[in-house]
Structure 1
Amino acid sequence: MKFRRKNKFVAEVATSSLNDIMFFLLLFFLIISTVANPNVIKLMLPKASSSQQLSKKQVTLSVDAEKRYFIDKTPVSPENLEMELQAVMKDVAEPTIVVRVDKTLAVQDLVDILQTGAKLNIRMVMATSK
Protein backbone atom coordinates (compact mmCIF):
# COMPACT_ATOMS: atom_id res chain seq x y z
CA MET A 1 0.00 0.00 0.00
CA LYS A 2 1.39 3.33 -1.10
CA PHE A 3 0.56 6.44 0.90
CA ARG A 4 0.75 9.80 -0.81
CA ARG A 5 0.81 13.09 0.90
CA LYS A 6 -1.97 15.37 -0.15
CA ASN A 7 -0.13 18.52 0.86
CA LYS A 8 3.11 19.17 -0.88
CA PHE A 9 5.60 21.57 0.63
CA VAL A 10 5.70 24.89 -1.22
CA ALA A 11 8.38 27.43 -0.38
CA GLU A 12 6.95 30.88 0.38
CA VAL A 13 8.36 34.17 1.55
CA ALA A 14 6.30 35.90 4.19
CA THR A 15 6.02 39.55 3.16
CA SER A 16 3.25 40.69 5.46
CA SER A 17 5.64 42.44 7.85
CA LEU A 18 7.37 44.35 5.03
CA ASN A 19 4.40 46.69 4.76
CA ASP A 20 4.82 47.72 8.38
CA ILE A 21 8.55 48.25 7.96
CA MET A 22 8.08 50.41 4.85
CA PHE A 23 5.40 52.46 6.60
CA PHE A 24 7.66 53.17 9.58
CA LEU A 25 10.58 54.09 7.30
CA LEU A 26 8.39 56.47 5.34
CA LEU A 27 7.08 58.02 8.54
CA PHE A 28 10.60 58.39 9.93
CA PHE A 29 11.92 60.15 6.82
CA LEU A 30 8.92 62.48 6.66
CA ILE A 31 9.41 63.54 10.25
CA ILE A 32 13.15 64.03 9.81
CA SER A 33 12.68 66.08 6.62
CA THR A 34 10.33 68.51 8.37
CA VAL A 35 12.67 68.91 11.34
CA ALA A 36 15.69 69.70 9.15
CA ASN A 37 15.98 73.45 8.62
CA PRO A 38 18.18 74.78 5.81
CA ASN A 39 18.72 78.11 7.57
CA VAL A 40 21.58 77.61 9.98
CA ILE A 41 21.52 81.14 11.38
CA LYS A 42 19.25 81.14 14.43
CA LEU A 43 17.07 84.23 14.67
CA MET A 44 13.98 85.07 16.66
CA LEU A 45 11.74 86.66 14.01
CA PRO A 46 8.97 89.12 14.79
CA LYS A 47 5.39 87.85 14.54
CA ALA A 48 2.80 88.78 11.88
CA SER A 49 -0.86 87.89 11.47
CA SER A 50 -0.70 87.35 7.69
CA SER A 51 2.03 85.94 5.48
CA GLN A 52 2.96 85.94 1.80
CA GLN A 53 4.86 83.20 -0.05
CA LEU A 54 7.51 83.93 -2.69
CA SER A 55 7.95 81.68 -5.71
CA LYS A 56 11.09 83.24 -7.17
CA LYS A 57 14.74 82.55 -6.46
CA GLN A 58 15.21 83.59 -2.88
CA VAL A 59 18.21 85.51 -1.66
CA THR A 60 18.18 85.85 2.11
CA LEU A 61 19.74 88.72 4.04
CA SER A 62 19.96 87.85 7.73
CA VAL A 63 20.99 90.08 10.61
CA ASP A 64 21.45 88.44 14.00
CA ALA A 65 21.31 90.01 17.46
CA GLU A 66 25.02 90.96 17.35
CA LYS A 67 24.43 92.91 14.07
CA ARG A 68 26.31 90.39 11.93
CA TYR A 69 25.11 90.41 8.34
CA PHE A 70 24.73 87.23 6.23
CA ILE A 71 23.77 86.89 2.58
CA ASP A 72 22.64 83.28 2.09
CA LYS A 73 24.73 82.08 5.07
CA THR A 74 27.82 84.01 3.86
CA PRO A 75 29.06 86.60 6.38
CA VAL A 76 29.25 90.16 5.02
CA SER A 77 30.60 93.28 6.67
CA PRO A 78 28.10 96.16 7.01
CA GLU A 79 30.41 98.44 5.00
CA ASN A 80 30.40 96.05 2.01
CA LEU A 81 26.69 95.21 2.20
CA GLU A 82 25.67 97.46 -0.67
CA MET A 83 28.40 96.12 -2.99
CA GLU A 84 27.62 92.50 -2.10
CA LEU A 85 23.89 92.97 -2.70
CA GLN A 86 24.60 94.59 -6.03
CA ALA A 87 26.90 91.70 -7.02
CA VAL A 88 24.35 89.05 -6.01
CA MET A 89 21.46 90.74 -7.82
CA LYS A 90 23.20 91.87 -11.01
CA ASP A 91 21.78 89.09 -13.25
CA VAL A 92 18.30 88.83 -11.71
CA ALA A 93 15.38 90.31 -13.67
CA GLU A 94 13.19 91.14 -10.65
CA PRO A 95 15.55 91.37 -7.68
CA THR A 96 13.88 90.39 -4.42
CA ILE A 97 15.58 89.82 -1.07
CA VAL A 98 14.03 88.18 1.98
CA VAL A 99 15.17 90.17 5.02
CA ARG A 100 15.43 88.21 8.26
CA VAL A 101 16.18 90.56 11.16
CA ASP A 102 16.34 89.52 14.80
CA LYS A 103 13.44 91.00 16.76
CA THR A 104 15.74 92.43 19.44
CA LEU A 105 17.39 94.87 17.01
CA ALA A 106 16.33 98.49 16.74
CA VAL A 107 14.01 99.63 13.98
CA GLN A 108 16.76 101.90 12.66
CA ASP A 109 18.83 98.84 11.69
CA LEU A 110 15.95 97.57 9.55
CA VAL A 111 15.42 101.01 8.03
CA ASP A 112 19.11 101.19 7.05
CA ILE A 113 18.82 97.85 5.25
CA LEU A 114 15.62 98.92 3.48
CA GLN A 115 17.26 102.19 2.38
CA THR A 116 20.13 100.21 0.88
CA GLY A 117 17.61 98.09 -1.05
CA ALA A 118 15.72 101.17 -2.23
CA LYS A 119 18.96 102.74 -3.43
CA LEU A 120 19.74 99.62 -5.51
CA ASN A 121 16.10 99.21 -6.73
CA ILE A 122 15.81 95.84 -4.97
CA ARG A 123 12.48 94.71 -3.58
CA MET A 124 12.82 93.84 0.10
CA VAL A 125 10.45 91.43 1.86
CA MET A 126 10.62 91.02 5.61
CA ALA A 127 10.39 87.49 7.03
CA THR A 128 8.25 86.94 10.10
CA SER A 129 7.15 83.96 12.12
CA LYS A 130 3.50 83.00 12.62
Structure 2
Amino acid sequence: MELKRKNRVNAEFSMASMTDIIFLLLIFFMITSSAISQSAIDVKLPTANSANPSVQEATTVTIKADGKYFVNDTEIPRDELEKYLVDALKEESNPAFTIRADENSRHRDVVFVMSIAETHKYNLAIATTQEE
Protein backbone atom coordinates (compact mmCIF):
# COMPACT_ATOMS: atom_id res chain seq x y z
CA MET A 1 0.00 0.00 0.00
CA GLU A 2 1.37 3.36 -1.00
CA LEU A 3 1.07 6.20 1.52
CA LYS A 4 1.38 9.81 0.38
CA ARG A 5 2.13 12.79 2.55
CA LYS A 6 -0.28 15.67 2.46
CA ASN A 7 2.32 18.36 3.31
CA ARG A 8 5.47 18.34 1.25
CA VAL A 9 8.43 20.51 2.21
CA ASN A 10 9.50 22.77 -0.60
CA ALA A 11 13.28 22.80 -1.00
CA GLU A 12 13.36 26.05 -2.99
CA PHE A 13 14.55 29.30 -1.41
CA SER A 14 12.84 32.57 -2.22
CA MET A 15 15.03 35.66 -2.44
CA ALA A 16 12.07 38.06 -2.35
CA SER A 17 12.17 38.68 1.39
CA MET A 18 15.97 39.06 1.39
CA THR A 19 15.72 41.57 -1.47
CA ASP A 20 13.15 43.61 0.46
CA ILE A 21 15.40 43.77 3.54
CA ILE A 22 18.46 44.83 1.51
CA PHE A 23 16.41 47.48 -0.28
CA LEU A 24 15.13 48.91 3.02
CA LEU A 25 18.65 49.00 4.46
CA LEU A 26 19.91 50.77 1.35
CA ILE A 27 17.22 53.43 1.65
CA PHE A 28 17.93 53.85 5.37
CA PHE A 29 21.67 54.37 4.85
CA MET A 30 21.16 56.74 1.93
CA ILE A 31 18.84 58.94 3.97
CA THR A 32 21.02 58.98 7.09
CA SER A 33 24.24 59.64 5.18
CA SER A 34 22.76 62.64 3.37
CA ALA A 35 21.48 64.06 6.67
CA ILE A 36 24.90 63.72 8.28
CA SER A 37 26.81 65.30 5.38
CA GLN A 38 24.65 68.44 5.46
CA SER A 39 25.51 69.33 9.03
CA ALA A 40 27.65 72.42 9.49
CA ILE A 41 30.95 71.86 11.25
CA ASP A 42 33.09 74.76 12.41
CA VAL A 43 36.68 74.06 11.34
CA LYS A 44 39.85 76.09 11.58
CA LEU A 45 42.06 74.78 8.78
CA PRO A 46 45.43 76.50 9.25
CA THR A 47 46.38 74.62 12.43
CA ALA A 48 47.78 71.13 12.87
CA ASN A 49 48.89 69.13 15.86
CA SER A 50 51.79 67.43 14.14
CA ALA A 51 54.94 67.39 16.23
CA ASN A 52 57.16 66.91 13.16
CA PRO A 53 56.48 69.57 10.55
CA SER A 54 57.21 68.41 7.02
CA VAL A 55 60.12 69.74 5.02
CA GLN A 56 59.09 72.72 2.95
CA GLU A 57 59.47 72.41 -0.82
CA ALA A 58 61.48 74.92 -2.79
CA THR A 59 58.41 76.41 -4.50
CA THR A 60 55.78 78.01 -2.31
CA VAL A 61 52.51 79.62 -3.40
CA THR A 62 51.22 82.08 -0.81
CA ILE A 63 47.62 83.28 -0.89
CA LYS A 64 46.81 86.37 1.12
CA ALA A 65 43.40 87.24 2.54
CA ASP A 66 42.87 89.94 -0.09
CA GLY A 67 43.30 87.40 -2.93
CA LYS A 68 46.87 88.22 -3.96
CA TYR A 69 49.12 85.36 -5.06
CA PHE A 70 52.84 85.12 -4.34
CA VAL A 71 55.25 82.50 -5.68
CA ASN A 72 58.41 82.42 -3.57
CA ASP A 73 57.68 85.96 -2.29
CA THR A 74 57.13 87.35 -5.81
CA GLU A 75 53.63 88.71 -6.47
CA ILE A 76 52.03 87.08 -9.52
CA PRO A 77 48.66 88.08 -11.04
CA ARG A 78 45.97 85.39 -10.99
CA ASP A 79 45.80 85.00 -14.77
CA GLU A 80 49.58 84.46 -15.02
CA LEU A 81 49.95 82.10 -12.05
CA GLU A 82 49.56 78.83 -13.97
CA LYS A 83 52.12 79.79 -16.63
CA TYR A 84 54.56 80.96 -13.97
CA LEU A 85 54.25 77.71 -12.00
CA VAL A 86 54.66 75.57 -15.12
CA ASP A 87 57.83 77.47 -16.04
CA ALA A 88 59.18 77.28 -12.49
CA LEU A 89 58.57 73.53 -12.11
CA LYS A 90 59.40 72.26 -15.60
CA GLU A 91 63.02 71.42 -14.69
CA GLU A 92 62.14 69.33 -11.61
CA SER A 93 61.95 65.55 -11.82
CA ASN A 94 59.21 65.40 -9.17
CA PRO A 95 57.42 68.77 -9.41
CA ALA A 96 55.77 69.86 -6.18
CA PHE A 97 54.82 73.03 -4.38
CA THR A 98 53.33 74.13 -1.07
CA ILE A 99 50.25 76.27 -0.63
CA ARG A 100 50.46 78.74 2.23
CA ALA A 101 46.99 80.29 2.54
CA ASP A 102 45.93 82.84 5.11
CA GLU A 103 43.13 81.50 7.33
CA ASN A 104 40.94 84.38 6.09
CA SER A 105 41.62 83.77 2.39
CA ARG A 106 38.74 82.64 0.22
CA HIS A 107 38.31 78.96 -0.41
CA ARG A 108 37.96 79.50 -4.16
CA ASP A 109 41.48 80.98 -4.29
CA VAL A 110 42.91 77.84 -2.70
CA VAL A 111 40.87 75.59 -4.98
CA PHE A 112 42.15 77.54 -8.00
CA VAL A 113 45.76 76.77 -7.07
CA MET A 114 44.87 73.16 -6.29
CA SER A 115 43.29 72.81 -9.74
CA ILE A 116 46.56 73.95 -11.32
CA ALA A 117 48.35 71.18 -9.44
CA GLU A 118 45.74 68.63 -10.54
CA THR A 119 45.87 69.71 -14.19
CA HIS A 120 49.65 69.37 -14.42
CA LYS A 121 49.92 66.38 -12.03
CA TYR A 122 52.06 68.27 -9.49
CA ASN A 123 52.46 67.05 -5.93
CA LEU A 124 50.86 69.39 -3.48
CA ALA A 125 51.26 70.22 0.20
CA ILE A 126 49.24 72.62 2.32
CA ALA A 127 51.16 74.45 5.01
CA THR A 128 49.67 74.79 8.48
CA THR A 129 50.83 76.13 11.80
CA GLN A 130 51.38 73.94 14.83
CA GLU A 131 48.77 74.05 17.58
CA GLU A 132 49.98 75.50 20.84
**Which structure 1 residue ranges, 5 or more long, are not aligned?**
1-44
Aligned to 1:112: 112
Confirm or deny: 8 A CA contact 2:60 2:99 kept in the other structure: yes
3-state secondary structure, aligned to 1:115: helix
User: When the two structures are superposed, what TM-score results if normalisation uses the length of structure 1?
Assistant: 0.60
- Percent identical among aligned pairs is 24
Tell me by how many angstroms 1:120 deviates. Answer: 1.2
Map 1:1-130 to 2 at 5 A: 46-50=46-50, 52-54=53-55, 57-130=57-130
Tell me by how many angstroms 1:112 deviates. Answer: 1.4
One-letter code aligned to 2:95 = P
Structure 1 segments, 4+ long, off by >6 Å, are: none
Tell me by how many angstroms 1:124 deviates. Answer: 1.1
Distance 2:69 2:82 in 1: 11
3-state secondary structure, aligned to 2:125: strand
One-letter code aligned to 1:60 = T
Q: Please report the RMSD computed on the Cα atoms of aligned residues, expressed in angstroms.
A: 1.7
Tell me by how many angstroms 1:52 deviates. Answer: 4.2
Deviation sequence 1:19-58 (CA, Å, 0-9, x none): xxxxxxxxxxxxxxxxxxxxxxxxxx81012254127x51
Tell me by how many angstroms 1:108 deviates. Answer: 2.3
Confirm or deny: 8 A CA contact 2:46 2:102 kept in the other structure: yes
One-letter code aligned to 1:119 = T
3-state secondary structure, aligned to 1:92: coil
Distance 1:129 1:52 in 2: 9
Distance 2:67 2:109 in 1: 8
Aligned residues: 85
Tell me by how many angstroms 1:96 deviates. Answer: 1.0
Confirm or deny: 8 A CA contact 2:63 2:110 kept in the other structure: no
Distance 1:88 1:103 in 2: 26
User: When the two structures are superposed, what TM-score results if normalisation uses the length of structure 2?
Assistant: 0.59
